[in-house]
Amino acid sequence: MIGYYLDLARRSLRRNVALTILMILAIAFGVGASMTTLTVLHVLSADPIPGKSDQLYYVQLDPRPVDGYKEGEEPLYQSTRQDAETLVRAKQAERQVLMTGGGAAIESQQVGVDPFNVEARWASADFFPMFDVPFVAGGPWTAEDDDAKARVVVLAKPLAEKVFGTTDVVGRTIRVESNEMRVVGVTDTWFPTPHFFDLNTGAYGVKELLYAPFSTSRELKFGRNGSMNCWNSHQDPEALGAPCEWIQLWVELSTEAKRADYYEYLTAYSRAEKEAGRYHRPPNVRLRNVMEWLEHNQVVPNDARLQMWISLGFLLVCLINTVGLLLTKFMRRSPEIGVRRALGASKKSIFTQLLVEAGMIGIVGGVLGLLLAWLGLWAVRHQPTPYAALAELDTQMLLATFGLAVITSLLAGVLPAWRGCQVTPALQLKSH
Amino acid sequence: MHFMPILSTLRRHRTAAALIVLEIALTCAIVCNAVFLIRDRLSRMDRPSGVAENELLRVQLTGIGERADAQAITEQDLAALRTIPGVKSAISINMIPFGGSSWNSSISTKPDDRDAPVNAGMYMATGDIVETLGLKLVAGRNFNSDEYVPFDDVQSETKGIAAVIVTSATAEKLYPGQSPLGKPVYVMGSTPPVIVGVVDHIVRPNDANGIDQRPYSMILPVTVPFNMGGNYLLRVAPDRKQEILAQVDAKLDGVDPRRIILERQTFAQVRAKYFEQDQAMARLLLGVSIALLVITALGVVGLASFWVQQRTRQIGVRRALGATKRDIRRYFQLENFILATMGIIVGMALAYGVNMWLMDTYGVDRLSAMYLPIGAGLLWALGQIAVLGPAVRASSIPPAVATRSV
Amino acid sequence: MFQMQDVSKVFRTEMVETHALRDLSLEVKEGEFVAVTGPSGSGKTTFLNIAGLLEELTGGVYKLDGVDVKALDDNARSKLRNEKIGFVFQSFNLIPDLNLFDNVDVPLRYRGFGRAERRKRIESALERVGLASRVKHYPAELSGGQQQRVAIARAIAGDPKLLLADEPTGNLDSQMAREVMQLLEELNASGTIVIIVTHDPEIAARAQRNVHIVDGVATDLERGPALVKPKAAEAKAS
């Protein structure tokens, strides 16, 4: 019977091509626009480090002066160098890393490549195992390298290829800000999105290509990127004791119990620092895991959300439009429906027949919507947004798009089909 | 004239009528808010910078490695740049309006004030900011050449800053209703500089402190080398921008080739880059609004066509009974007007609701009442245009159909 | 086969209650050819709609082939209509977008026959009405008489026991009308009950039985008024 309905639907849709195209386009544009924006939102709010995001915690403390203190307020956004170095040395978590964003000029050995600037990250050794950074050659530097302020670097694959033309460069040297640095490892392409571990340099589109020990970077006075906030003036804001926040501190804690313990530890640390006179406020500690941290920072841009709501509103209008047109179309077919009813079609079979017709519009509209979403994402990739490059359709969203189209058209079809099958056989037989 | 009969007809086609009213209402609500948001974005983009935009070029560069001689190289660079024909002046500045990255400080009228009244952007340059950027001095004077101190000396507290120029908004915030000239501003270091001049306006590099904080900035007589902020700004003859930009690299390389030049831009490009997301958003909103209006118009056409077809015989009878073509056309136009009006009324309420929600969730401003009549007018016009075709078709139904058996 | 006992039909609107049929009783045996006559608005169409299961009755009992239709839901009524009843209408009611083959196919589709069975039935039905050569034509390409013959082919393709015809010759000229009547009589001769609603006395005269409806009350002219219970005065409230 479905075959018969499909055949009838095809005929009916071909009878009024303009109307059919209008309905299909309405569904397609509605679905296309919605799926474009939903996909963008989906990639923007994705878990940047699945499987581990609930074991990595961002540490916040509050070493500020007591005046201006309000109970329950957020602690300092970042850490001071003093706290960060102390806590990394204390090794009270399974892993701990301190870091800051940076930038450096690279002079290539390749002939004809001018010096160029790269975004970099100055971090301690745990960075790589903690964030599961994949390597194509070599590996991370060690804690001993940190202590020794060793002239070592880890390169991201694109940088290695640009400077050396190969990734097989472990042991070779590279000129960073006029310093000879030894390459210990080359990471595979790894640009977690959002750039959760440091949101100061941007949540999206950050491509750090060079890693060096934090200690080395300070010794060699490498440039620093990100935000720095000082609450007292200091001759050198980057110095160890400076009253400035500019370091991100992350710890790895694999269980809820360890989290609780570490929280206690930080509280005790704050209290001890206060007794020692360095801290002035009551202990004010936050320990947020990756997703909590992203949520707290509201990394997904409001514009992306706004665009999603607009496109959903657009879809709703397209949906109502299609409901109206289908209703019109089905009501225009009342005489035919009346005859079919008289000849033995039950309400159910009329309902099914009409719903099949609506579904057909949905499927065609869905396929077209998928193409439009794909086109829309292509357009997003050419937008001047930092997350442009991320706008790709994955399998999950592909299926969701199709599902949305079919659900949309069935929704659009239910009311008209229901009204259509209410046509009484007796009434329509005599008059046209 | 046909008001009551139209209402009773619509009552009989309740579902279809309700759908079209709902569609018009939603379109009205979305379009009102979209137009409002577009207007908001455009006004953001129109934001004045306070600088002579048409005469400014920006060169951004970075050095390689630690440079003890950075300040000397900077002076040489500026001297070299000033030799390019058409360049009126050149400075090395730590940040630029709409440049994105910014230097800020809380400032106050008292020392160590935790509740400082304002946080202001800090412009510092090797060279004359007021003259090069074309700022309008509204009170006091520009810096004297002996007031400039090197940044490193300020940082190490070996020298203090004696003078500061603030924008009029900053002055009003610090010393409301008074002349700010000669008054202290506590910023960095223990000895406060005094206000020697007030400029009309210079916008901050970004909105990080909030959009309403954008007029708060100050200028300090602190010389900065090229590797601090990395911006050279050139005031040039407006008609020679491109030829000057083409010569910049050679001049700088002539001083020291071991630098990386990141950008060579006109100020118009700086501004466009800064607002490109707003522009993209405005364009998207415009596109969606147009698409919505088109879809809604087509929906109106579809429904009206159906009703005309359905009432063919009835129209024929009316014509036979003496209705003119104009009467028939008017009937459908009035019908559409009634539907549009209902849609607009519901749409207004909806627009207001959507705006409340947007205010709550995304912090947009309150929808100004002037957008409601714009939306209403747009939808009335749209409805009338859409219904015209079907209405004319209805009016051309001949009276003879009345007598024709169907 | 066809039994109506005290069937009544009341239409209600906000303002008025109209008694379209009052206690109509009628029994028709296999092979009978019945003409129902009466003036406009007498209730003929209501009778036909109820007989054809297109409308529900308000009171009384209607049994078709032994099945009491009152208890049936929409699905069962549709099925019964599909299997037992064929319709022929004054205005033919062919579906203009379907060719002859597909028009005759409509009731067979709902019957659930296989492809081969349907083809066989469609071809034989069109053969019987003399239009076998025009299966690919559309209704608009045919004359009125031909259209009505297609409608008859559609009505008989499913081998119904009961054929209901509503003024089947009303839109036809006399030559075509005669042809259509001849077809109906042939069908009747092969065992199908034919009930035809008409106001044409000539056609009524060709039927074995004549039932006359006036103001919703039926009188069997052939067998006399004795069979009909004259309870017309009591308007039932339910």
pLDDT digits (tens, 9 = 90+) for B330-375: 989 999 999 999 999 999 999 999 999 988 888 788 888 888 888 8
pLDDT, residue B404, reads 60
Query: pTM here?
Result: 0.82
Binary contact (A305, B20; C-beta < 8 A): no
Q: Hey, CA dihedral for A80, A84, A86, A92, is it positive or negative?
A: positive
- Residues C196 and C203: beta-carbon distance below 8 Å: yes
> What phi and psi, each to the nearest 5 degrees, are found at residue A327?
-60, -50
pLDDT digits (tens, 9 = 90+) for C141-167: 998 889 989 999 999 999 999 999 988
Smallest Cα distance from A400 to chain B, Å:
22
Q: Please tell me which chains touch C, using 3 or more CB pairs under 8 Å as the contact test.
A: A
- Residues A126 and A146: beta-carbon distance below 8 Å: no
Residue C130 has pLDDT above 70, yes or no: yes
SS3 B306: helix
CB-count exposure of residue B115 (10 Å: 0-12, 13-18, 19+): exposed
Q: Compute the half-sphere exposure of residue C131: CA atoms within 13 Å on the CB side of its CA.
A: 29
CA distances from B263 to A10, A289, B246, B351, C71 (A): 59, 38, 12, 44, 86
Binary contact (C90, A430; C-beta < 8 A): yes
> What phi and psi, each to the nearest 5 degrees, are found at residue A301?
-65, 140
pLDDT, residue A56, reads 96
Give the end of a domain, one of B248, B266, B284.
B266
Smallest Cα distance from A336 to chain C, Å:
6
pLDDT digits (tens, 9 = 90+) for B83-93: 999 999 999 99
Q: Establish whether the linkage from the previous residue to B257 is cis, with ω within 30° of 0.
A: no
Q: What's the full length of chain A, in residues?
A: 432
Which residues in chain C have Cβ-Cβ distances shorter than 8 Å to A424?
54-55
Give the separation between CA A10 and CA C25, rounded to whole angstroms: 46
Q: Are residues B209 and B341 in the same domain?
A: no
Element (H, E) at C60: strand C59-64
Residue B184 is classified by DSSP as: B
Contacts of C19 (CB under 8 A, 6+ apart): C8, C9, C10, C216, C235
Q: Is B292 on the interface with A (CB under 8 A)?
A: yes
Which residues in chain B have Cβ-Cβ distances shorter than 8 Å to A302?
362-363
Binary contact (B155, A236; C-beta < 8 A): yes
Residue B17 has pLDDT above 60, yes or no: yes
Q: Are residues B89 and B205 in the same domain?
A: yes
pLDDT digits (tens, 9 = 90+) for A387-401: 887 888 888 888 887
Q: Are residues B221 and B323 in the same domain?
A: no
Tell me how far the alpha carbon of residue A367 is from its chain's centroid. 26
Binary contact (A1, C83; C-beta < 8 A): no
Would you say residue B94 lies in a domain? Answer: yes
- Residue with the larger pLDDT of the pair B70 and B404: B70
- Residue with the larger pLDDT of the pair C180 and B219: B219
Residue B401 has pLDDT above 90, yes or no: no
Q: Please tell me which chains touch A, using 3 or more CB pairs under 8 Å as the contact test.
A: B, C
Element (H, E) at A5: helix A2-15
Contacts of A207 (CB under 8 A, 6+ apart): A119, A156, A158, A191
Q: Are residues B67 and B151 in the same domain?
A: yes
Binary contact (A115, B20; C-beta < 8 A): no
Q: Are residues B221 and B310 in the same domain?
A: no
Binary contact (A426, C55; C-beta < 8 A): yes
Smallest Cα distance from B138 to chain A, Å:
31
pLDDT, residue B324, reads 87
Q: What would the CATH number be for the domain defined by C2-227?
A: 3.40.50.300
Residue C3 has pLDDT above 60, yes or no: yes
pLDDT, residue A431, reads 41
Residue C193, beta-bridge partner list: C162
> What phi and psi, each to the nearest 5 degrees, are found at residue B132?
-65, -45
Smallest Cα distance from A339 to chain C, Å:
7
Q: Are residues B88 and B193 in the same domain?
A: yes
B287: domain range?
A: 3-46+276-402
Give the separation between CA A315 and CA A36, rounded to whole angstroms: 12
pLDDT band of B201, cuts 50, 70, 90: very high
Smallest Cα distance from A261 to chain B, Å:
34
Q: Are residues B154 and B280 in the same domain?
A: no
Give the end of a domain, one of B213, B246, B266.
B266
Binary contact (A345, C166; C-beta < 8 A): no
pLDDT, residue A426, reads 58
pLDDT, residue B190, reads 66
Q: Please tell me which chains touch B, using 3 or more CB pairs under 8 Å as the contact test.
A: A
Binary contact (C74, A346; C-beta < 8 A): yes
| A431: closest chain C residue by CA | C91
Which residue positions in chain A have pLDDT lower than 70?
426-432
Residue B128 has which token pair? 């004359």
Give the end of a domain, one of B204, B234, B266.
B266
Q: What is the average pLDDT score of chain B?
A: 89
Binary contact (C95, A336; C-beta < 8 A): yes
C-alpha gyration radius of chain B: 32
Residues A230, A234, A240, CA angle at the centre, nearest 5°?
Answer: 85
pLDDT, residue C222, reads 59
- Residues B199 and B51: beta-carbon distance below 8 Å: no
Give the separation between CA A285 and CA A271, rounded to whole angstroms: 11
Q: Is B72 on the interface with A (CB under 8 A)?
A: no
Give the separation between CA B298 and CA B207, rounded to whole angstroms: 42
Query: Per DSSP, which regions of B36-193 are E strands?
Result: 56-63, 87-93, 104-107, 118-126, 137-140, 149-150, 163-167
Binary contact (A347, C91; C-beta < 8 A): no
Binary contact (B16, A327; C-beta < 8 A): yes
Q: Is C154 on the interface with A (CB under 8 A)?
A: yes
Residue of A68, A320, A415 lying closest to B114 (CB–CB): A68
Q: Are residues B32 and B102 in the same domain?
A: no
> What phi and psi, each to the nearest 5 degrees, are found at residue A292?
-65, -40
Q: What is the dihedral of CA A227, A232, A236, A238, to 10 degrees?
A: -40
Q: Are residues B117 and B252 in the same domain?
A: yes
Q: Is C166 on the interface with A (CB under 8 A)?
A: yes
b/e code B248-268 from CB counts within 10 Å (16+ = b): beebbeebbeebbbeebbbbe
Smallest Cα distance from B395 to chain A, Å:
20
- Number of A/B CB contacts below 8 angstroms equals 124
Which residue of B13, B62, B151, B286 to mutate against A (max A Cβ within 10 Å)?
A: B62
Residue of A344, A347, A348 lying closest to C81 (CB–CB): A344
Which residues in chain A have Cβ-Cβ distances shorter than 8 Å to C72?
none
Q: Are residues B81 and B115 in the same domain?
A: yes
Which residues in chain B have Cβ-Cβ distances shorter than 8 Å to A331?
16, 306
In which residue are the tokens 């607002």 written? B275
Give the separation between CA B352 and CA A401, rounded to whole angstroms: 31
Binary contact (A328, B260; C-beta < 8 A): no
Which residue of B12, B14, B15, B19 to mutate against A (max A Cβ within 10 Å)?
A: B19
- Average pLDDT on B379-385 reads 93
Binary contact (A115, B309; C-beta < 8 A): no
| A342: closest chain C residue by CA | C54
- Average pLDDT on C112-128 reads 92
Binary contact (A321, B299; C-beta < 8 A): yes
pLDDT, residue C229, reads 43
Q: What is the dihedral of CA B135, B138, B140, B143, to 10 degrees?
A: 0
Q: Are residues B140 and B81 in the same domain?
A: yes
The reply to whether ipTM tops 0.90 is no
Q: Are residues B16 and B63 in the same domain?
A: no
Residue C218 has pLDDT above 70, yes or no: yes
Q: Hey, CA dihedral for B213, B218, B224, B226, is it positive or negative?
A: positive
A 10 A CB-CB count for A129 gives: 14
| % of chain B with per-residue pLDDT over 70 | 98
* Every domain of chain A and the residues it spans: 2-45+301-430, 56-297
Binary contact (A321, B288; C-beta < 8 A): no
Smallest Cα distance from A428 to chain B, Å:
13
Which residues in chain A have Cβ-Cβ distances shorter than 8 Å to B303?
324-325, 328
Residue of A115, A311, A332 lying closest to B260 (CB–CB): A115
Residue of C78, C90, C97 lying closest to A344 (CB–CB): C78
Smallest Cα distance from C224 to chain A, Å:
31
Number of domains in chain B: 2
pLDDT digits (tens, 9 = 90+) for B293-339: 999 999 889 888 888 888 888 888 888 888 888 888 998 999 999 99
